[in-house]
Structure 1
Amino acid sequence: MTLDCPSGCVYLQQARAHERPRSSDELKNAELFLQVEFGEQFIYDREHLLMGLSYALAKSARADRSLNDRDLIAALTAMAKTYETLISSGLHYQTPIAGIGQQTVAEEVKNRLEQFREAEQRYLGYSTLRDSDVLKALVFLIRLAHGRTSGRPKSRAFLDFLFGQFPEPAIRAPQEAGSRLITP
């Protein structure tokens, strides 16, 4: 029997409050990209990038309700491996992404990265975003996701965390929201 509680379910929220954190033994070191290092200064310097990528994750998860934490982690991991290969060897090798939902998440993140680069180009005259910064941002999000998820197959705890950061009205585009005026 499988239960699919909505995020606002009182019982689900209580269960998450009393759930023990995942131990580091449950995770493989390769999943966390421990060879990629960054400090607090990176988080402060690239806050806008991290928020933009988090927003992209929340937006794609709202569009496809079948996504769960594992899908987001898989998409981010594939992208991080691609950037890791690019940085270490200079090869443009795209790590294959299995599911369609994961591919959609990866596309949304790529689009957000392009928008970020274009905005920097427009306002600064040049782009300061390096591939190594993108890798660090992706690894930050992977570690955040692993820290927030319960590790269960259908866990949506990380998604609910993202939804809490970006409430639904903030994600809805103006043209999607529609007019609230009632005309006779």
Structure 2
Amino acid sequence: MLGEKIPQDIVYTHQQLMAALAFSIAKFCAVQPAAVDTDVLAALQSLAQTYKTLSTGIIYEKPPDAPLPRELYAALVGFISEIKKQQSERASSAILKDSEVFYLLVFLYRMGLLRTNGRPRSRCFIEFLRGQFPKSPELQREESRIIVP
């Protein structure tokens, strides 16, 4: 995945989808407080491998073994399939190719590698994604229950 060359225009032409994928990840992690960066990276890596094989015409899916990355993987698969379904219903919009989804997932994976600190319980990448959507009510943190006099 690190050796893949991402076309320069892919992120710019699919900015909304990239933001929607990042928001979906941040929203999932807001609901699952036990999720850490390694869970997100494992899900992104598995999903990118799935879309790489899909772009070659082979259907092979291998979700992550751990429960949290598998749940995120399933949530992202559902989100992407919903986007493709909406695009197919609208005849005016171009259909999203599996290779384009692959490149977007590789981009997010690389961004995750850059934003995490490598520690097992790190949430730096998740917090980075959350920070990209500061006004979103779904991503707001729960208020502290500690009462300070």
Instruction: Please tell me the TM-score bracket, short chain as reference.
Output: 0.7 to 0.9
Task: Spell out structure 1 runs of 4+ moving beyond 3 A.
Answer: 122-127, 167-170
Letter in 1 for 2:49: K
Letter in 1 for 2:55: I
Letter in 2 for 1:71: D
* 2:27 matches 1:59: yes
Q: Which consecutive unaligned segments of at least 5 residues does structure 2 have?
A: 140-149
* 1:71-128 superposed Cα distances (whole Å, 9 cap, x missing partner): 000001011111222223x221111311111111112211221222233233344542
Q: Is the Cα–Cα contact under 8 Å of residues 117 and 127 in structure 1 kept in the other structure?
A: no
Distance (whole Å) between structure 2 residues aligned to residue 165 and residue 36 of structure 1: 25
TM-score by length of structure 2 reads 0.84
Distance (whole Å) between structure 2 residues aligned to residue 121 and residue 99 of structure 1: 33
* 2:70 matches 1:103: yes
Distance (whole Å) between structure 1 residues aligned to residue 90 and residue 55 of structure 2: 26
* 2:22 matches 1:80: no
Q: Is the Cα–Cα contact under 8 Å of residues 52 and 112 in structure 1 kept in the other structure?
A: no
Query: Aligned-pair RMSD on alpha carbons?
Result: 1.8
**Offset of residue 132 of structure 1:** 0.2
**Offset of residue 69 of structure 1:** 0.2
Which of these two proteins has the greater Rg computed from alpha carbons? 1
Q: Which consecutive unaligned segments of at least 5 residues does structure 1 have?
A: 1-32, 173-184
Q: Which of residues 43, 67, 88 is equivalent to 1:121?
A: 88
Structure 1 pair 109/169, CA: closer, same or farther in 2 (3 Å)? same
Residues paired across the two proteins, number = 139
How high is the sequence identity, in percent, across the aligned residues? 30
